[in-house]
Amino acid sequence: MNNAEYIIVGAGSAGCAMAYRLAEAGRKVIVIETGGTDIGPFINMPAALSYPMSMKRYDWGYKSAPEPHLGGRELACPRGKVIGGSSSINGMIYVRGHAKDFDHWAESGAQGWAYADVLPYYKRMEDWHSGGRGGDKDWRGKGGPLHVTRGPGTNRLTRAFIKAGAQAGYELTSDYNGEKQEGFGPFDATIWKGKRWSAASAYLRPAQATGNCEVVHGTAARVVLENGRATGVELTDGRVLEASVEVIIAASAINSPKLLMLSGIGPAEHLSEHGIDVVADRAGVGQNLQDHLELYVQMAAKGRHSLYKYWSMIAKAWVGARWLFTKSGIGASNQFEAAGFIRSKAGLDYPDIQFHFLPIAVRYDGTGAQEGFQAHVGPMRSKSRGAVTLNSADPMADPNIFFNYMSHPDDWEEFRNCIRLTREIFGQDAFAKFRGEELLPGADAQSDEALDAAIREDVESAYHPCGTCKMGSVNDPMAVVDPQGRVIGVEGLRVADSSIFPRITNGNLNAPSIMVGEKIADHVLGKAPLAPSNDAPWLHPDWKTAQR
């Protein structure tokens, strides 16, 4: 099939959700995806999460440009090049974001995207299972395509982290995706029956089963535009796929702006530099790039309570075999089973720090493992902004990805605060019998200067790029799409993925990316949006005067 009513570029989190909703409504859909199958143990075994994002078979392999405020380091920027996109290579952590994030979107020009507007879509997409670990069922969805579960949370270090948060004076929350994000409690994950539950599993395969959705293997070179209207997509092999109604780009915060610019939509001067004819001069395309940075505050551990005992080849083989035959045991969890969301200071009305606790000391790529435990910590709303630009008009050339990390002076103060607050939590009685020496940043790193040096050398991306095709008012010169995802200045073309986020949300981005796909699908179909919710989120009653 080389024509359909709708062409979706990218079989990732948002693209799969849209494909299902359009196909379910009887529309004919083509989904273009560069990557291949998501079938295989490295993707589907939750505990193997560090492997697929470093495999060329599944990952675009992008790196940032040298980051001047991080000593010229080039940071990895994994993006899924596989069916399911980044939902097939991510850490499977499920965070909706805080209600105030979406209220900010609406206030900044994305009308119809306040929390009251998006909460019904989160409920529609979820099939939530508490696993007996508490929760807030009135705020959660049941029967949706996306299974969301909780790990067992039985590890003694994992339990100690939640207890230590309470001992430090912070709130506990039974469900950070419910009424109350602020506090310490169990993590949610896109895992079902011991396997990764990606957007491909939740949405794309059901879409294909309708008979209305076909996946075409290929790489988009440009959107075909005729008289200011998108009519199809040209692939790098010369094939042209025709769309009788719309083209929808859902290719990631890196590749969506790249494709727009290759198609003549973007900053006119930049396009002209690369010999690209300008169809729509949109200054915001590729700008407003945001991400979460995090530092792994690592502690050595006493005893053998960490996951390090599973790190030998024999133990890994046993874990793998058990998972392969029973889909149970250590291999069936991403091991991120304890979360924390706190405010860094009084005067903030909602959290600006997130913790991912892991009961082992190890880098995200699986290297450097030792007996210990760690919290990934970093500020949620950095003021730094970067950009995605073209290196070449060649569609096969990587774009230039410049995050401009830590370029705002406030970032340094916020990050130091993150480290010191983490140390305080690790210093609580709950960790007394487990706690060894501090491995990273190290006990000697106490001064602002020493912490800044550790930040420069050791922070890593949390792999949450967004914002490069900002959604906003048509009168906003930096907005790329309107609140229905329509590219401003072009007919028949939308963008729907994390690139349209006006500002990054609290936490991991897979859940809000899928939600964007769900909501934009209704706009594409001309449906009335789901009725707004009247549920009001919990805010700390003393937020104006107290940090905890």
Check whether 150 has a pLDDT greater than 80.
yes
Q: Which residue among 147, 356, 464, 540 is the active-site one? A: 464
Check whether 275 has a pLDDT greater than 80.
yes
Give pLDDT tens digits for 291-327.
999 999 999 999 999 999 999 999 999 999 999 999 9
Q: What is the helix (H) or strand (E) element at residue 354, kind and residue range?
A: strand 353-358
pLDDT tier at 132, thresholds 50, 70, 90:
confident
CATH class of 3-525: alpha beta
| Max Cα distance, the chain (Å) | 70
Q: Give all strands (DSSP E) within 435-500, no chain letters.
A: 435-440, 460-461, 493-495
The average pLDDT across 159-183 equals: 98
Name the residue ranges covered by the structural domains of the chain.
Answer: 3-525
CA 479/CA 116 separation, integer angstroms: 22
The average pLDDT across 352-375 equals: 93
- pLDDT at 121 (0 to 100): 98
Check whether 223 has a pLDDT greater than 90.
yes
Determine whether 217 is an active site residue: no
Check whether 364 has a pLDDT greater than 80.
no
pLDDT tier at 368, thresholds 50, 70, 90:
confident
- pLDDT at 421 (0 to 100): 98
- pLDDT at 32 (0 to 100): 98
Residues in the chain: 548
Under DSSP, the state recorded for 307 is: G
Annotated binding residue 82: yes
The average pLDDT across 42-66 equals: 95
Q: What is the helix (H) or strand (E) element at residue 249, kind and residue range?
A: strand 240-249
Check whether 436 has a pLDDT greater than 90.
yes
The average pLDDT across 530-548 equals: 97
Distances (CA, A) of 437 to 93, 97, 160, 411: 28, 34, 17, 27
Q: Give all strands (DSSP E) within 227-346, no chain letters.
A: 229-235, 240-249, 265-266, 280-281, 293-301, 338-342
HEC states along 393-413?
CCCCCCCEEECCCCCCHHHHH
- pLDDT at 133 (0 to 100): 84
pLDDT tier at 183, thresholds 50, 70, 90:
very high
Share of the chain above pLDDT 90, in %: 97
Average pLDDT over all residues of the chain: 97
Give pLDDT tens digits for 78-98.
999 999 999 999 999 999 999
CA 269/CA 281 separation, integer angstroms: 9
- pLDDT at 363 (0 to 100): 85
